[in-house]
Amino acid sequence: MVQPPGFEVSDSNLVCKLNKALYGLKQAPRQWFDRLTSTLLQFGFLASKCDPSQFTYTKHKQVVYLLVYVDDIIITGSSLSLVHSLVQKLDSIFSLKQLGDLDYFLGIEVKQLSDNSLLLTQSKYIKDLLIKTNMVDCKPINTPMMSSCKLTKLGSPSMQDVTLYRFTSGAAIYFGPNLISWWSKKQQVVARSSTEAEYRSLAQATVPFTTPTIYCDNQSAVLLAHNPVLHSRTKHMESNLFFVREKVLAKQLSILHIPGTDQLADILTKAISIDKFLFMRNKLNVRSYTELEGGVPGTDQLADILTKAISTDKFLFMRNKLNVRSYTELEGGCVSV
């Protein structure tokens, strides 16, 4: 390490040799995590195979879960006494600062309800983003993108920025009726067709899971996944081809076609109408903070579906809020480009 200001020795070529990791160095976070992990493993914790920052401890049918983010730790379990004993053991090795019940973590507000359930919201995080971008007083709109595009008489701009021509991929992964994972981002390469772009999304959505069912609205991509023949038109994406096909042949992956009108992941990639946006947003189980706490505005009164004649869009919107789902929808995830 370079000599710190105020402690220099006359020879400027000298450096300090560290006996242990020092806070602020680039390798310090890794050294701290390795030290904490080895300590937890000695205590009998098991690291998750999916998330190396999550640990579980089991004793006499009681389970404790521990989640680590840098130097912040969340710990919970089925036995309060077991949780306290493990915290004391950690405190004997590391100097811990106990902050009490969890109320905020990584942009998520945590509120304990009267029925012992937890309410997780991101209202504070959203407000902070509005303040950061100077959009607190902006005029709200119904959809994030315009569903119609007006073309100008002028020619298209020069093709200097290749990222403008990359497809945007999106995926929504469900466990039963619950959305557990989602993403929307541009692909790393420029695809030569919508089939290629859709297939790259299939490969990306397949990676984190063992035996998923994926619903794709591109019929060509679905047929390509089940066809073992390699054509010259698909050789340039053969790594994704073989990865998906191997999963399909080993029956570790099921790919089914879904009509474009029912593709939930379209909300992550496409400009859609207000009615369709609200319909799909509701299928993602996105709710307002007040609604989750129990308050329901008159326009969102779910009981109206049982007593009143309402429009088709409102009926589908409210039916979804009742968590009524089709059988195929409950079985897997969906991918869109």
Alpha-carbon distances, residue 132 vs 36, 125, 126, 128, 314 (angstroms): 34, 10, 10, 6, 35
Does residue 72 lie within any of the structural domains?
A: yes
Name the burial class of residue 195, with classes exposed (0-12), middle (13-18) and buried (19+) by CB atoms within 10 angstroms of its CB: buried
Q: Which among 324, 290, 286 has a CA at the least distance from the CA of 305?
A: 324
Into how many domains does the chain fold?
Answer: 2
Q: Which of 118, 152, 181 is the last residue of a domain?
A: 118
Does residue 293 lie within any of the structural domains?
A: no
Does residue 132 lie within any of the structural domains?
A: no
Mind listing the pLDDT tens digit for each residue in 263-273? 777 777 777 77
DSSP code for 234: G
Distance between CA atoms of 12 and 256, rounded to whole angstroms? Answer: 67
The segments of the chain whose pLDDT lies below 50 read 232, 234-236, 295-298, 335-337
Does residue 137 lie within any of the structural domains?
A: no
CB-based contacts of 56, cutoff 8 Å, min separation 6: 45, 46, 48, 63, 64, 65, 66
The answer on 109 and 213 residing in a single domain is: no
Distance between CA atoms of 68 and 337, rounded to whole angstroms? Answer: 34
Tokens of 119: 């309410």
Helix, strand, or coil here: 49?
coil
Q: Which of 101, 118, 135 is the last residue of a domain?
A: 118
Does residue 93 lie within any of the structural domains?
A: yes
CATH number of the domain bearing residue 313? 3.30.420
pLDDT given for residue 120 in this prediction: 82
The answer on 318 and 205 residing in a single domain is: yes
Mind listing the pLDDT tens digit for each residue in 223-250? 666 665 555 454 445 556 556 666 676 6
Q: Half-sphere exposure (CA, 13 Å, Cβ side) for 224?
A: 28
Q: Which residues of 95-125 are buried (b: 16+ CB within 10 A; e: fewer)?
A: eeeeeeeeeeeeeebebeeeeeeeeebeeee
The answer on 201 and 327 residing in a single domain is: yes
The answer on 196 and 108 residing in a single domain is: no
Phi, psi torsion values for 215, nearest 5 degrees? -100, 120
Q: Which residues of 53-72 are buried (b: 16+ CB within 10 A; e: fewer)?
A: ebbebeeeeeebbbbbeeee
pTM of the model: 0.57
Does residue 272 lie within any of the structural domains?
A: yes
Q: Long-range contacts of range 114-121, CB-CB < 8 Å, 24 or more positions apart?
A: 119/292, 119/293, 121/289, 121/292
With a pLDDT cut of 90, the percent of the chain lying above it is: 3
The answer on 312 and 200 residing in a single domain is: yes
The answer on 282 and 197 residing in a single domain is: yes
pLDDT given for residue 306 in this prediction: 74
The answer on 223 and 103 residing in a single domain is: no
Locus of tokens 């407000």: 127
DSSP code for 134: T
pLDDT given for residue 132 in this prediction: 92
Using an 8 Å Cβ cutoff, are 278 and 147 in contact?
A: no
Using an 8 Å Cβ cutoff, are 252 and 211 in contact?
A: yes
Distance between CA atoms of 79 and 17, rounded to whole angstroms? Answer: 45
Q: Which of 118, 137, 158 is the last residue of a domain?
A: 118
The answer on 321 and 253 residing in a single domain is: yes
Distance between CA atoms of 107 and 123, rounded to whole angstroms? Answer: 9
Tokens of 277: 């946006």
pLDDT given for residue 274 in this prediction: 78
What is the separation of C-alpha 212 from the centre of its chain, rounded to a whole number of angstroms?
16
The answer on 111 and 170 residing in a single domain is: no
The answer on 254 and 174 residing in a single domain is: yes
Structural domain boundaries, residue 43: 30-118
The answer on 183 and 79 residing in a single domain is: no
The answer on 316 and 236 residing in a single domain is: yes
Distance between CA atoms of 65 and 184, rounded to whole angstroms? Answer: 30
